[in-house]
Amino acid sequence: MSDTASPAVIRRADYAQPAFLIDSVALEFDLVPERTIVKNTMRLRRNPDGAPGARLELMGEALELVSVALNGVPHAEHRAHEHGLTVENLPDAFELTIVSACQPAENTTLSGLYVSSGNFFTQCEAEGFRRITYFLDRPDVMAIYTVTLRADKAAYPVLLSNGNLVEEGELPDGRHFAKWEDPFKKPSYLFALVAGKLVAIEERIRSGSGKEKLLQVWVEPHDLDKTRHAMDSLINSIRWDEARFGLELDLDRFMIVAVSDFNMGAMENKGLNIFNTKYVLANPETATDTDFANVEAVVGHEYFHNWTGNRITCRDWFQLSLKEGLTVFRDQEFSADMQGGDTDEAARAVKRIEDVRALRQFQFAEDAGPMAHPVRPESYVEINNFYTMTVYEKGAEVVRMYQTLFGRDGFRRGMDLYFKRHDGQAVTCDDFRLALADANGRDLTQFERWYSQAGTPRVSVRTAYDSAQRRYAVTLTQHYGDCAPAARETQTGPLLIPFALGLIGRDGRDVPLRLEGETQAAGTTRVLELTEAEQTFTFVDVAEAPLPSLLRNFSAPVVVEYDYTNDELAFLLAHDSDPFNRWEAGQRLATRELLALTARAAASEPLSLDDSVVAAFARVLTDESLSPAFRELALILPSEAYLAEQMAESNPAAVHAARQFMRKRLATALRAEWLAVYERHTASGPYEPTPKATGHRALKNLALAYLAELDDPVDAIRLANAQYDAANNMTDRAAALAALLAAATTAGAAAAQPALDDFYRRFENEPLVIDKWFAMQAMQRGSLDRRIIDVVGKLMAHPAFTLRNPNRARSLIFSFCTHNPAQFHAEDGSGYAFWAEQVIALDALNPQVAARLARSLELWRRYTPALRERMREALERVASQVKSRDVREVVEKALA
Ligand code: PHE
Ligand code: ZN
């Protein structure tokens, strides 16, 4: 056990208003990598609603205090300590000037002010501002900021901060300065500065009301050829928020800056968004279709925060989902609209399927483990550990349910009321819920449970058809099944679950729906409102026993339990008018088969797959009426992680054997079809990242991946080599390389080596592409004589590898530990030993990244006994050695 006490727990119930408020802040920076001096002049006043007492407790971390002055006069009554600065004997309103120093070049945490590629950047969310200056670093303290930056002009020609540039000029000794003013008050977590050698592409556009806006995307000079897509995405985002929500850009100038060392995806600092290069840089040679889509989504996400997050922010960090759930929902809708407009349901469904797949694979897993928490958590040790799939993705599902209940117009009315009531404020999830309720004349008291209860709800469905009465009864029961203790303790009662349902006749057509008590049928999809533990909904005038299409478009983040037969699933896969459920039917079919195969593999019994299952997938593969994008999604088998999660005792080796068996079976049985699809969807001509072209490439590359599974993958190797050489875009080149790596498991490593070497040489100067090179090798399948841990071990020593760059660490270490379960969970525990070593090494450099990696063992109790024991040993080793609050919270909760 570790020798120090467990770190303190922060509780939502303990929220208290700040004792002081800060009206304005003037910051002056003398930027020097080794020692930057910050002069912070604040106007403060006592908060009439805050706790009394003359003492001001400012937060500060890793700072060196230089001086304190009250109303311009040195003030001796202060004390700097480990967590900040206490200032005593203060009047009701005053000006406080604090000078302090920090060390950006030494800052490997990437929180606060740091240096990356010789340039200065900041990251303040959640609690990084206190690493820059002493402050009331909490989101309910909102102030007006003026920022003056001073630095050497040759080394740092560009000086940026939030808002508008109001002054710039020369200083002695080759230095220069820039002064920025942000006209909007903001919490400290939205502060940002950037200084260095950067260049920008620019556009000037007019916003809805006709005002001119300057848009810039800032990057290092060699990346200027990868900025167009981000700029287009920004313009599309601005237009979309005007059209869909009536929200206009409120600043004259909006900047995006790319940085290669970044802990997360991107950050919505007011007017100065800072992005991980991975989510801003893209051109056809270096970025895949997925990268293009991610850039669009993240640019949209950060831009949408300008209203949902910045204009209205969070009262405290327990309310994080207020901005994140809502903004993820907005970016999902934006991406769906960009795919299919607001009418092409099949195209929109592609985005929906991808989002639900991620939710089920990662958020459901989180909800089933020791880190389970409600969308609005009750407590935390380190807030950085709560930027989670639950807060983001389940939070977005909760927001989506308002739209499902009230329709797009009702949702818009709620948003309008939310802005009318709360613009300029720091508020809570309850405030958002009340705005939606009041705008739609509904009591949403029960709906609060979606914010307070953890765990994945399950809805069991029973149906009964009465042919004499022509009635069809659907009984829904909600429960949490056998869920994790961390989730169990939050559960108090039934949820309001919007359950969208359709009924399908024998001809494959939707039945018009008429509920008991209604005078006539209306529509073919109904959103049933399940509010009790159990409820029965009766449809009348039903001519024949229908097949239910349940939870259409995934109308609530729940698991549906219903015993379809394989034939029924095949029928739904062929006929459901709801594209999401059509996909879902195929996934259910595959999941059922794969779990049965897994059980046999675990018992070393022979494996076999029914021809009818192969036939169902063959129909999708050859159904030209379906879009290629949809077919690709329908033909990807559920992931190994998702399958393992469905087992009472996860057995990654058996899951892998089962899934590989089914892939090989589908490859072999449908070899001619895969080859035909490959040929048919191979396009020539210039690359375009449009939804249509993306869908063709996706299906073609899936065909190639299946062909690589054949015992004798000659076709795959030939096609992949040709595709690799001819590729005019990264999607095709990377897919070809991946296929060669897969084929190499049967054909021998030499099959992939030339392409692998070429790929490295070709993209040596493109770090984001080299990340792919590491990741593909870390995720490759092993074989009896080749363990991937050995490949990873060698790559750790590669000159291009470094733990200090989070993208690089993720590309090799996380790819192996979280995306290669069969190899990571090797029976000898070698994966876990590697994991422990890397968590410990990262902890000393960057606790946030270390804590993310630490989470890859949190479900240890759900594995087979032999693995469980080895995982516990590894967790204990980490628990005894790590220092950060971040990692300790994760491993201590896992072991508790
Ligand atoms: N607020 C950022 C987003 O979701 C995420 C983030 C959190 C970035 C913390 C950096 C640090 O858009
Ligand atoms: Zn966000």
The ipTM, to two decimals, is 0.99
Q: What is the mean pLDDT of residues 591-612?
A: 97
| Ordered alpha helix ranges (H), 637-670 | 640-645, 652-669
Closest CA to 25 of 8, 13, 38: 38
* CA-nearest residue, atom 7 of ligand 1: 125
Does residue 647 have a pLDDT over 50? yes
Query: Any idea which ligand is nearest the CA of 279?
Result: 1
Closest CA to 635 of 734, 543, 702, 588: 702
What angle in degrees, to the nearest 10, is found between the helix axes of 579-602 and 345-358?
Answer: 30
Q: What is the mean pLDDT of residues 201-211?
A: 98
Query: Any idea which ligand is nearest the CA of 192?
Result: 1
Structure confidence by residue, pLDDT tens digits, 604-628: 999 999 999 999 999 999 999 999 9
pLDDT score, position 683: 85
The mean pLDDT of the chain is: 97
Give the SS3 label for residue 176: strand
Q: What is the mean pLDDT of residues 547-564?
A: 98
The class level of CATH for 10-197 reads: mainly beta
With the most atoms of ligand 1 within 8 angstroms of its CB, the residue from 124, 264, 317, 384 to mutate is 264
Structure confidence by residue, pLDDT tens digits, 779-808: 999 988 899 999 999 999 999 999 999 999
pLDDT class of 52 with cuts at 50, 70, 90: confident
* CA-nearest residue, atom 3 of ligand 1: 267
- For the whole model, what pTM was predicted? 0.98
Q: How far is the CA of 392 from the centre of ligand 2 (A)?
A: 8
pLDDT score, position 633: 98
* CA-nearest residue, atom 8 of ligand 1: 267
Residue partners of 717: CB distance under 8 A and separation at least 6? 708, 740, 743, 747, 751
Structure confidence by residue, pLDDT tens digits, 432-458: 999 999 999 999 999 999 999 999 999
CB 561 within 8 A of CB 571: no
Show which residues are catalytic: 302
Does residue 1 have a pLDDT over 60? no
Q: How far is the CA of 326 from the centre of ligand 2 (A)?
A: 9
Structure confidence by residue, pLDDT tens digits, 837-882: 999 999 999 999 999 999 999 999 999 999 999 999 999 999 999 9
Return the CATH number of 459-562, one of 1.20.1070.10, 3.40.1160.10, 1.25.10.10, 2.60.40.1840.
Answer: 2.60.40.1840
Superfamily of domain 764-896: Peptidase M1, alanyl aminopeptidase, C-terminal domain (1.25.50.10)
With the most atoms of ligand 1 within 8 angstroms of its CB, the residue from 111, 191, 267, 295 to mutate is 267
Other C-beta atoms lying within 10 Å of the C-beta of residue 85: 23
* C-alpha separations of 751 from 714, 756, 787, 823 in Å: 10, 10, 17, 21
Does residue 54 have a pLDDT over 90? no
Q: How far is the CA of 557 from the centre of ligand 2 (A)?
A: 20
* CA-nearest residue, atom 2 of ligand 1: 267
Q: CB under 6 Å to ligand 1: residues?
A: 123, 125-126, 263-264, 266-268, 301-302, 305, 324, 387
Does this chain's domain 459-562 share its CATH topology with 764-896? Answer: no
Q: How far is the CA of 187 from the centre of ligand 1 (A)?
A: 14
Q: How far is the CA of 603 from the centre of ligand 2 (A)?
A: 45
- Atom of ligand 1 at shortest distance to CA of 387? 7
- Atom of ligand 1 at shortest distance to CA of 305? 12
- Extents of the domains making up the chain: 10-197, 459-562, 764-896
Query: Any idea which ligand is nearest the CA of 264?
Result: 1
Does residue 342 have a pLDDT over 90? no
Residue partners of 257: CB distance under 8 A and separation at least 6? 121, 160, 194, 198, 217, 218, 219, 272, 273, 274, 275
* CA-nearest residue, atom 11 of ligand 1: 125
Q: How far is the CA of 770 from the centre of ligand 1 (A)?
A: 24
Structure confidence by residue, pLDDT tens digits, 452-508: 999 999 999 999 999 999 999 999 999 999 899 999 999 999 999 999 999 999 999
First to last CA, the chain: 12
